[in-house]
Structure 1
Amino acid sequence: MTEQALTPSRVSGLGSKLHDHHLRRQAMVYVRQSHPQQVAENVESTARQYGLVERAIAWGWSPERVIVIDEDQGQSGQSMATRLGFQRLLAEVSLDHVGLILGLELSRLARSNKDWHQLLELCAIFGTLLADADGLYDPTDYNDRLLLGLRGMMNEAELYILKGRMHEGRRNKAQRGDLLNHPPMGYVRGADEDYQLDPDEQAQRVVRLIFDVFEQQGSLHGLLRYLVAHDIRLPIRPHSGATRGQLEWRRPNRMTLQNLLHHPIYAGAYRWGYRKVDPRKQQPGRPYTGRTVKPPESCEVLIKGRFPAYINWDRFESIQQRLADNRAIAAALGAPREGPALLGGLLVCGRCARRLMPAYSGKTNPLRYTCMRATIDDGVPGCLSLSGAFLDDFVVAQIMQVLQPASLELSIAAEHALRTERAQLEAHWQQRLERAHYGAARAARQYSAVEPENRLVARELERQWEEALRHEQHEQEAYARFRREQPTELTAREREAILRLAQDMPRLWAAPETAPQDRQEIVRLLLEKVTVDVQGDSEQVDVMLHWAGGVKSQHRVLRPVARYAQLSTYPRVLARIDTLRRAGVSFEQIAEHLNREGFSPPKRTDRFNGGMVARLLSRCGLHGPRPRAMGDGSVLKPHEYWLTDIARTLNMPIATVHKWQRLGWMHSRKVAVASGRLVIWADDDELERLRQLRAYQRKWPEPRYPQALTRPKERDPE
């Protein structure tokens, strides 16, 4: 566009469109460049946009009535979500404060049809003119409105074409594996502008150590704790600033380690197109939101073997699978936790194929595995819930049977793992000492090279030399502490302890030093999945162990239940007790018979005793062996009951009957036979009263039971 086009005389239709009511309002000059780089480099274009102020003045606006809106410098015109200046412009037009909007090009105002037509509608309603280098436009005029609509469509199409052309250029370069950004940790740009391994040996060793430690620890948090505990820092080369490209050692953090473990470049692969923007997830005013991360195999470009690698591809895939399994979602195993649950993430419901959730409740926090996914997802009742202790104990017993024959191999593997770990840490410390010694020697050479008379420089070099010497001393002291805590070679006592513990796996498993996470790791190494299903509501549980390697083993175990009715052997237990009772066997002897014959009670108890047998008979309305006097029909008078019989008739505890008898709420007497037992008198009316008294529920503030229920009926004289 020539400079003559900016003069008022070359503007078409000025006299017929510009009126006094326009001049009474403000003129706004909208200034925008699409990128910060354009703001810094395209200074002439920016100057031309600011020059539009003179144009408005030439058309009749006073200088103080010409407003410049330049808040959107460096912002794209694709959307107004992040353009505060454009939003301010719309607000001013809506308030009828604007008579003219000027822009060097109409594309400066908007590159989106939605935003553009919103501006046109407001300008047409409030009679606001638009002007660019080509002319003056009135949105209320049909021809001008048609032209403005076409210009808006062309602006959006132009942006689409430009972006598509640039994107295809990047894609073409990426398909060759040449579209590179900043090198990640452990890599540098070589002379050919390609990625190479960091030439620093210690930097390479730390990167390899990170992958080794993650496979040992099994979780990102465990890796971070290990690095912090051993004071291992990360080799970082900043991408900007005064120290750009120089190697710095920084404290590890979770996000840096997570990005490193997920990056396929460490397996030698090049990826492009792994972070796409989902418009549904974008948030207004935040241009970097809405990004979704794709796995390497779903990227637009994936070239294996493109770069030098720290690990092979199979090892990288196993690390990605472990990270995916550690996620705290229903579909993943989850990372090993501090809780005692061994089968968290491994236990699967045999009815709905969903994972069972470990839970702790009550005063003692007993472990339970519960199938609650159906309740959480669909609001329907869960499938099953069972105690966790017996199931964990059963799985541990199966694992001990598998590990016991391999005790020698386990001891050898444990000793080799300890040797390897200590050798890695020893090499790391040697490189740290070498770096500290080199820094001190270099500072000494710099100090020796300066002229003694030049004290301005000598004092600073002396300070740097002393600082380097202090750092070297600090590293040597730290290394000495490391050697005291973890010698390079295993002592004879340590080797003997490893062999002894490997031969006694149950003791090693139950040792206080064995963390719950270690036990869970062992279980996950040997088992892929454990499927459970309860037979109805009984104590019988079907367990299928899916071992690593594809082998399956089916088992049936007994779980503790709360009620006798849940026992599958309950009818047989009652029949056996009744047979022994009729034979006159005592409660203790009945319990011994049941224990010998393999019967067991509920509620986490292995053996019957006499009290259990008595309570069970009482619930069933039966009684055990009685003295002969109690069987004599002449002892009891009409409507009289033995105290235990009346308790059984009213279905209430014997202790409650004793209390009512002491309070005088029922007629009673002692007999001379049967060791002076109590006899209760109750005819039909009395039985009904006692049942009502039993069922009565007091309500606050009622202090007592009604007297009509507690006063016994007058007994007829004999």
Structure 2
Amino acid sequence: MNSKIRTSHLERRAVVYLRQSTLTQVESHRESTDRQYALADRASGLGWDKSQISVFDNDLGKSGQTTTGREDFHRLMAAVGLGEVGAVLALEASRFSRSQADWHKLIDICALTDTLVIDHDGIYDPNDFNDRVILGFKGTWSHTELHGMRLRLQGAKLNKAKKGELRCSPPTGYVYDPEGKLVIDPDEGVVAAIKLAFQQFRVLGTAFKVMRYFCINDIPFPRRRWRQKQIGTLYWGPANLSRITTLLHNPTYTGTYVYGRRRCINVIEDGQIKKVKIQTLPQDEWKVIIHNAHEAYISWEEYLSNCERLKQNSPVSLSDGCQRTPREGFALLQGLVICGKCGRKMSPRYHGNGGCRAAYECTQARKQDGNMGVCWSVAGAAIDKAIADHVLEAISSEQLDISLAVLSELDDQAQEADKTWQLRLERGRYEADRAIVNMTQLNQKIV
């Protein structure tokens, strides 16, 4: 038995800690998992009774970059801090943690409670200076190794992306052909739904109205999933705002290959990485842009116009002077009334039961200068009535012709919706015919 292992250590538990970063590693790299479980036999060989050996394996499939979500690591730290553990065993330092802060915190607690650290290389006493140096180097090397692996993987991905060969999950409306090239989905129903969404955005102007158009007309929206065991599986469901805005913001539909539109930012709270935030980058910071890489649904210019329109539709008040979409309310001239004193836009304010009385107020000076007063305020009823009367007086035969043209456009939209339903009916008939043929063949085999 090693001289570092004393009776005081053997009287306490030996904890074997297991961890692998992903569930894929747990399923595919069974040899590594078996080696970690074998540490229980090593603890038994070093003198611990089998009843005193605990195996913590609930962190299999969880990343070691942070302790968030790793319940067994917290159990281990608590048991060591209470002096219940004589030794902690892991295959290597990276199994405990990839973070130097978490690694050194564990070493400090082990030193305070006289707990040994055991890996496949040896037995270490955190209170021994030489062992403490080696443990510190192991933690540093684990962190350095992770950094090096990340750089190599990211460099390889970027190099392949610059050639337009890095394959990612394609957006709905595209699939990969047998040669690995991105092509338009062969399902006509999927293509019709995607084109209808872009067409309706040109007419309606907002993503919410496009979503509402699909829902009111009971038109399902397609989605292909690319997870394991669901690769390329097509699902139809109701359109939602997130899917419509994702469609409009995706430059892939312009026939452009893009890489590096987003980046991950670690959110640190109380010295720990609590979550990873996805940040969308401006276009001039995208790493790879290759135009005309595949067939397109819309032009690049229309995509830029759509993005600008979505930005203008944002209800958030910005200081760039952009026109924003008015929100709900009784006021007729939201975002259009200009203050006669300072020239800034006035905001609607509602009073009375249910907000039935509207007024226009200029509060921009208060927001910018810290002034608690209102620059100008005026009742909205008189202004709204005057504008409404003026608009009704201005209606002429030309305006009626425009209204008829709008009705004709609505009729065209109804025909597009009917086309989508016809494609669904055709797909249903095809699947029914195929089921009948399969049933007939099965009956013939039985006979």
Pairwise TM-score range, normalised by the shorter structure: 0.7 to 0.9
> Is 1:264 the counterpart of 2:251 in the alignment?
yes
Asked whether the equivalents of residues 98 and 143 of structure 2 are also in contact (C-alpha less than 8 Å), the reply is yes
Q: How many residues align?
A: 442
Output one character per residue of 1:224-259: Cα deviation in whole Å (capped at 9) or x when no partner.
221122121123333347764344432222322222
* Cα deviation, residue 188, structure 1: 1.3
* Cα deviation, residue 448, structure 1: 3.6
Output one character per residue of 1:143-181: Cα deviation in whole Å (capped at 9) or x when no partner.
111222122111111111111111111111222222222
Match of 2:359 in 1: 368
Name the SS of the counterpart of 1:181 in structure 2. coil
Name the SS of the counterpart of 2:253 in structure 1. helix
How far apart, CA to CA, are the structure 1 residues paired with 2:190 and 2:267?
A: 41
Alignment of 1:430-441 (within 5 A): 430-441=422-433
What stretches of structure 1 of length at least 5 have no aligned partner? 1-7, 9-13, 456-718
> Is 1:386 the counterpart of 2:378 in the alignment?
yes
Code of the aligned partner of 1:342: L
How far apart, CA to CA, are the structure 2 residues paired with 1:360 and 1:338?
A: 11
Alignment of 1:574-653 (within 5 A): none
1:325–1:403 CA distance, 2 compared to 1 (3 A): farther
* Residue among 311, 322, 332 paired with 1:342: 332
> Is 1:356 the counterpart of 2:343 in the alignment?
no
Match of 1:185 in 2: 172
How far apart, CA to CA, are the structure 2 residues paired with 1:407 and 1:202?
A: 37
Match of 1:414 in 2: 406
* Residue among 299, 304, 324 paired with 1:312: 299
1:404–1:420 CA distance, 2 compared to 1 (3 A): same
Which has the larger displacement, 310-319 or 340-349? 340-349
How far apart, CA to CA, are the structure 2 residues paired with 1:55 and 1:399?
A: 88
Alignment of 1:81-480 (within 5 A): 81-240=68-227, 244-280=231-267, 289-331=276-318, 333-349=323-339, 355-362=345-352, 365-375=356-366, 378=370, 380-393=372-385, 406-407=398-399, 410-411=402-403, 413-414=405-406, 416-451=408-443, 454=446
How far apart, CA to CA, are the structure 2 residues paired with 1:19 and 1:444?
A: 77
* Cα deviation, residue 190, structure 1: 0.8
Output one character per residue of 1:87-144: Cα deviation in whole Å (capped at 9) or x when no partner.
2111111101111111221222222211111111111111111121222111111111
How far apart, CA to CA, are the structure 1 residues paired with 2:434 and 2:272?
A: 50
Output one character per residue of 1:572-630: Cα deviation in whole Å (capped at 9) or x when no partner.
xxxxxxxxxxxxxxxxxxxxxxxxxxxxxxxxxxxxxxxxxxxxxxxxxxxxxxxxxxx
Name the SS of the counterpart of 2:378 in structure 1. strand
Asked whether the equivalents of residues 271 and 296 of structure 1 are also in contact (C-alpha less than 8 Å), the reply is no
1:247–1:74 CA distance, 2 compared to 1 (3 A): closer
1:100–1:248 CA distance, 2 compared to 1 (3 A): closer
Code of the aligned partner of 1:170: K
Output one character per residue of 1:55-114: Cα deviation in whole Å (capped at 9) or x when no partner.
211221111111111221122222222322222111111101111111221222222211
How far apart, CA to CA, are the structure 1 residues paired with 2:146 and 2:373?
A: 55
Code of the aligned partner of 1:309: A
Alignment of 1:684-699 (within 5 A): none
Instruction: Between the two structures, name the one with larger relative contact order (CA 8 Å, sep ≥ 6).
Output: 2
Name the SS of the counterpart of 1:140 in structure 2. coil
Alignment of 1:443-592 (within 5 A): 443-451=435-443, 454=446
Output one character per residue of 1:284-322: Cα deviation in whole Å (capped at 9) or x when no partner.
999764222234454332333223111112222222222
Asked whether the equivalents of residues 272 and 301 of structure 1 are also in contact (C-alpha less than 8 Å), the reply is yes
Code of the aligned partner of 1:381: G
Asked whether the equivalents of residues 30 and 101 of structure 1 are also in contact (C-alpha less than 8 Å), the reply is yes
Output one character per residue of 1:521-552: Cα deviation in whole Å (capped at 9) or x when no partner.
xxxxxxxxxxxxxxxxxxxxxxxxxxxxxxxx
Code of the aligned partner of 2:356: N
Asked whether the equivalents of residues 256 and 289 of structure 2 are also in contact (C-alpha less than 8 Å), the reply is yes
Larger Rg: 1
Match of 1:23 in 2: 10
Asked whether the equivalents of residues 267 and 275 of structure 2 are also in contact (C-alpha less than 8 Å), the reply is no
Asked whether the equivalents of residues 264 and 296 of structure 1 are also in contact (C-alpha less than 8 Å), the reply is no
1:430–1:93 CA distance, 2 compared to 1 (3 A): closer
Over the matched positions of the two proteins, sequence identity in percent amounts to: 35
Asked whether the equivalents of residues 370 and 386 of structure 1 are also in contact (C-alpha less than 8 Å), the reply is yes
Code of the aligned partner of 2:241: R
Output one character per residue of 1:343-379: Cα deviation in whole Å (capped at 9) or x when no partner.
3234454666654221221258222111235546746
Code of the aligned partner of 1:343: L
Code of the aligned partner of 1:169: A
Cα RMSD for the two superposed structures: 3.0
Output one character per residue of 1:201-235: Cα deviation in whole Å (capped at 9) or x when no partner.
22211111111112322323322221122121123
How far apart, CA to CA, are the structure 2 residues paired with 1:234 and 1:196?
A: 19
1:133–1:426 CA distance, 2 compared to 1 (3 A): closer
Code of the aligned partner of 1:341: A
Which has the larger displacement, 150-159 or 332-341? 332-341
Output one character per residue of 1:14-65: Cα deviation in whole Å (capped at 9) or x when no partner.
21x2211111111111111122221112111211111111221122111111
Code of the aligned partner of 2:224: R
Asked whether the equivalents of residues 15 and 54 of structure 2 are also in contact (C-alpha less than 8 Å), the reply is yes
How far apart, CA to CA, are the structure 1 residues paired with 2:39 and 2:189?
A: 60
How far apart, CA to CA, are the structure 2 residues paired with 1:243 and 1:155?
A: 35
Name the SS of the counterpart of 1:430 in structure 2. helix
How far apart, CA to CA, are the structure 1 residues paired with 2:365 and 2:151?
A: 47
* Cα deviation, residue 393, structure 1: 5.0
How far apart, CA to CA, are the structure 1 residues paired with 2:275 and 2:160?
A: 24
> Is 1:43 the counterpart of 2:30 in the alignment?
yes
Asked whether the equivalents of residues 130 and 136 of structure 1 are also in contact (C-alpha less than 8 Å), the reply is yes
* Cα deviation, residue 400, structure 1: 7.0
How far apart, CA to CA, are the structure 2 residues paired with 1:358 and 1:189?
A: 51
How far apart, CA to CA, are the structure 1 residues paired with 2:270 and 2:166?
A: 29
1:111–1:167 CA distance, 2 compared to 1 (3 A): same
> Is 1:65 the counterpart of 2:52 in the alignment?
yes
